[in-house]
């Protein structure tokens, strides 16, 4: 019977809706980056398709990695979650060592690997989700009923966020901490325990913002970017101009003016602004709809997994949904002036190899978990 079940699972198809939503966002990213980076690449690399070619390479690598992850049983991730956490912490330490980590614009966040670079903070997001999902399954009673069950993962989270802040990478810190808190809340921790630690974490983040002059400048500039449009408010004002030029239907693909060196490195953190300028409100709304549908489908997969008797798979799905929704909300919120300026990639869309690979691997995990939840002989 077990052999028959395994054969049936091996032949089962992944969730086509979820896979198509992820593929649609990948295609949006390819088009958006190709358009946003042409002039920048031509000026700096004498090749207008430099970033497009590199992004295509990243896409191939990401899809190969996703296929590999999809073929791995979730039980493997449950058994080795602590290993990935250890590796992620080691990478976060390694990137801080002078001469090993690469510093760009005052932040030391990248590890050079020949022609490519690795961003440990992206790997830390996945490792934290996998570790916490396994921890909450193994220590379910302790997490829900005792302080020590809640404080142990908080200690691990503190170590990870401390290393992220030393880089510094405030955006990744917010996403890692936010997704961890969200997962623990969904695991059923006592509300009193949760609120006390959450308020402490928010207080610590406030202190970090106030203690760093450049972070405080960003916060004050966000409230009125037009007060200093050529310095602290420059990026946000240029982004808002892009949104304004887009109007309802946009200026047309390839016709953006803001990407002509008005918006710095528009193919990275502000790629959504260029997309909104070229495709208008309709195009921006279409991308928001794709993210909403993707996250809703992942949460649905988590519910299916939980009902089938696999809480580990459910927690993975919830964690992935929190990471994707958090990053998408922050990136688009920053671009539209809803949130203070903070560098954070838009999942599946922004330029960046590590981010793209990790996002595809996360989605592959969810696809495998959802497929396993539909195997015969298990409770629906």
Measured CA distances, 140 to 143, 146, 152, 312 (Å): 5, 10, 13, 11
Preceding peptide of 168 cis, ω within 30° = yes
Angle at 196 between CA 195 and CA 201, to 5 degrees: 90
8 inside domain: no
Q: Which 3 state secondary structure label does DSSP give 47?
A: coil
Which pLDDT score is estimated for 377? 45
2 inside domain: no
181 inside domain: yes
DSSP 8-state symbol, 169: -
* Positions of the chain with pLDDT under 70: 1-11, 212, 214-216, 218, 376-380
7 inside domain: no
Residue 204 has phi, psi (to 5 degrees) of -65, -40
Number of Cα atoms under 13 Å in the Cβ half of residue 184: 31
Burial class (CB in 10 A: 0-12, 13-18, 19+), 1: exposed
Q: Which 3 state secondary structure label does DSSP give 116?
A: strand
43 inside domain: yes
Distance CA(137)–CA(64), nearest Å, equals 29
Which pLDDT score is estimated for 215? 67
Which pLDDT score is estimated for 5? 41
Which pLDDT score is estimated for 214? 67
10 inside domain: no
Q: What is the number of helices (H) and of strands (E) in the chain?
A: 14, 3
Record the pTM.
0.92
9 inside domain: no
The residue whose two tokens read 């892009």 is 242
The answer to whether 90 touches 160, Cβ cutoff 8 Å, is no
Report the number of distinct structural domains present in the chain.
1
Query: Domain range spanning residue 319?
Result: 15-373
Mean per-residue pLDDT over the chain, rounded: 89
379 inside domain: no
66-70 own/partner pairs: CB under 8 Å, 24+ apart: 66/360, 66/361, 66/363, 66/364, 67/364, 69/361, 69/364, 69/365, 69/368, 70/14, 70/364, 70/365, 70/367, 70/368
Which pLDDT score is estimated for 339? 86
The answer to whether 137 touches 82, Cβ cutoff 8 Å, is no
């Amino acid at each position: 019977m077990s052999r028959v079940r395994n054969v049936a699972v091996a032949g089962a198809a992944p969730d086509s809706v979820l896979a198509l939503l992820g593929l649609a966002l990948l295609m949006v990213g390819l088009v958006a980056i190709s358009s946003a980076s042409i002039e920048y690449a031509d000026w700096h690399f004498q090749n207008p398709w430099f970033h497009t070619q590199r992004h295509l390479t990243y896409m191939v690598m990401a899809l190969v990695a996703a296929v590999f992850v999809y073929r791995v049983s979730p039980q493997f991730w449950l058994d080795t979650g602590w290993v990935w956490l250890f590796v992620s912490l080691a990478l976060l330490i390694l990137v801080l060592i002078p001469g090993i980590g690469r510093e760009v614009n005052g932040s030391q966040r990248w590890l050079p690997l020949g022609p490519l670079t690795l961003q440990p903070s992206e790997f830390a997001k996945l490792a934290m989700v996998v570790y916490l999902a396994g921890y909450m399954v193994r220590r379910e009673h302790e997490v829900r009923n005792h302080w020590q069950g809640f404080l142990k993962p908080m200690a691990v989270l503190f170590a990870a966020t401390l290393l992220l802040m030393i880089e510094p990478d405030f955006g990744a810190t917010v996403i890692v901490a936010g997704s961890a808190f969200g997962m623990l809340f969904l695991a059923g921790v006592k509300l009193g325990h949760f609120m006390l630690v959450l308020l402490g974490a928010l207080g610590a983040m406030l202190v970090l913002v106030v203690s760093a002059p450049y972070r405080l400048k960003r916060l004050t500039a966000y409230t009125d970017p037009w007060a200093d449009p050529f310095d602290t408010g420059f990026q946000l004002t240029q982004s808002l101009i892009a949104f304004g030029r887009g109007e309802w239907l946009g200026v047309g693909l390839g016709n953006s003016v803001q990407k002509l060196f008005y918006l710095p490195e528009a193919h990275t953190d502000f790629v959504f602004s260029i997309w909104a300028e070229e495709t208008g409100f309709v195009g921006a709304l279409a991308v928001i709809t794709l993210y909403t549908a993707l996250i809703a489908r992942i949460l649905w997969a988590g519910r299916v997994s939980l009902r089938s008797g696999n809480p580990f798979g459910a927690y993975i799905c919830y964690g992935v949904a929190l990471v994707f929704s958090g990053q998408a909300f922050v990136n688009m919120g920053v671009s539209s002036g809803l949130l203070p300026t903070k560098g954070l990639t838009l999942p599946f869309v922004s330029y960046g190899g590590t981010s793209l690979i990790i996002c595809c691997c996360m989605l592959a995990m969810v696809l495998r978990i959802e497929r396993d939840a539909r195997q015969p002989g298990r409770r629906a």
